[in-house]
Structure 1
């Protein structure tokens, strides 16, 4: 089924308001944009139904006691990378898993409370996944940008 959804300027303005404050009510957005709450509600529902918008809450890792952000580059052998990635995605510490091209097969991002958790995660949890040939970890020493609203909303001509 082809998705014929296109954003118009009103949709863009509603999304911009949600990016500023994802907890804003439809009425608050409507007042800021000179619309009715019903219009805002139906527009948001239409964008969600077309899989063009998803309103989610994003947690701050440090606020929840996670002080280590780690990236894992993983090489897989003797097994499809997708199977390994699905198993890896089941660990609560892992918040992003990507099957990638290039030198590695999988890229994963995870958080740990502290460095003592790293030993348990690598030796106990990761070692339980069959097919991992090599892991190259990288630890974030500083976070310069952490944004989830980076996907541009534009129409293609």
Structure 2
């Protein structure tokens, strides 16, 4: 794990807020000149602290108003079953996040989709075909009360 100083933390916070900042804008915000700022950003990228940049898209503008959180439980947990389940989960475009859990359920997946009918079809066509599936429990989100936000930087 890379040791971060206050300038690194500020760089990371600013880039999480706006990944499109120019190096000059970033340098101005964190109180550095452009060359040292760029060196630090490159070091953060090379060390794996920064692992990519992405645009944040609007689900509604794209016609994907439905967000479902799906908890799944498996009957068996052999390496073959887990590998097959995770490969299948990763192959479903509507699954935008997936987590392996400790506790009563094995997986939590976040699905964004255009309609309840499309969700039902996805369950029948994709999720129910997962190997060793014991149960599927779905919760639908009504609204976002806190949008994705910057990670807290220790």
**Which of the five TM-score ranges fits, normalised by the shorter chain?**
0.7 to 0.9
Match of 2:140 in 1: 139
- CA offsets, 1:98-123, max 9 Å, x none? 11011111111110111121121011
Determine the structure 2 residue equivalent to 1:19.
16
Distance 1:104 1:33, change over 3 A: closer
The 5 A counterparts of 1:6-155 are 6-57=3-54, 58-80=56-78, 82-83=82-83, 84-149=85-150, 151-154=151-154
Q: Distance in 1 between matches of 2:15 and 2:135?
A: 41
**4+ aligned runs moved over 4 Å, structure 1:** none
Structure with more contact order per residue of length (Cα contacts < 8 Å, sep ≥ 6): 2
- 3-state SS of paired residue (2:126): helix
Structure 1 length normalisation: TM-score?
0.86
Per the alignment, in what secondary structure is the counterpart of residue 91 of structure 2?
Answer: coil
Q: How many angstroms apart in 2 are the aligned matches of 1:78 and 1:30?
A: 52
**SS state of the match for residue 32, structure 1?**
helix
Q: Tell me, what secondary structure is at the counterpart of 2:69?
A: strand
The alpha-carbon deviation at position 68 of structure 1 amounts to: 0.3
The CA deviation at 1:21 is 2.0
Using a 3 Å threshold, how does the CA distance of structure 1 residues 101 and 79 change in structure 2: closer, same or farther? closer
Q: Which runs of 5+ in 1 are unaligned?
A: none
Say which SS state the counterpart of residue 28 (structure 2) adopts.
Answer: helix
RMSD across aligned positions (CA): 1.7
**Deviation at residue 55 of structure 1 after TM alignment:** 4.2
- Size of the alignment, in residue pairs? 150
Question: What TM-score results when the alignment is normalised by the length of structure 2?
Answer: 0.88
How far did 1:75 drift?
0.7
